[in-house]
Amino acid sequence: MESVSCRLGDIRDRTRLLRLFGFAYKIEIFIPAAKRKWGYCVYPLLEGQRFVGRIEVRADRKNGQLQVLQFWPEPGVVWTHSRQVKLNAELNRLPRLACVQQVVWMCVQGLV
């Protein structure tokens, strides 16, 4: 029986990712914008061993912003206040790495 932990290689192996986690992931950077299901570069959100959502972010270095363009909770995932707090904490770690000063939500935050 295969381990069900997620490793970086699992995200690269989309067939295995779908089989182990039921998570269909596709990089859409080479798909014309009008034909994309998600966005230009969407990242999976992993909580423990469960994929709970997808997020599209980009660094706008001219304005010093890490912009959250889109956010989608996975089907069947209730997006709670606790999850939003955890996501915000992780996002707030990224500006330094991306050489920007702040996180700006360009869409509605995940909490519904």
Which stretches of the chain score pLDDT less than 70?
A: 1-11, 110-112
The pLDDT score that the predictor gives to residue 49 is 82
Residue 4's pLDDT is what?
A: 43
| The predicted structure's pLDDT at residue 85 | 94
Length of the chain: 112
> What is the reported pTM?
0.78
Pairs from 20-26 (Cβ < 8 Å, separation ≥ 24): 21/49, 21/50, 21/51, 23/51, 23/74
CATH number for the region 8-105 comes to: 3.40.630
- And the tokens for 32? 């014309």
Residue 111: the pLDDT is 57
Exposed (0-12), middle (13-18) or buried (19+): which is 36, by Cβ within 10 Å?
A: middle
pLDDT value of residue 98:
92
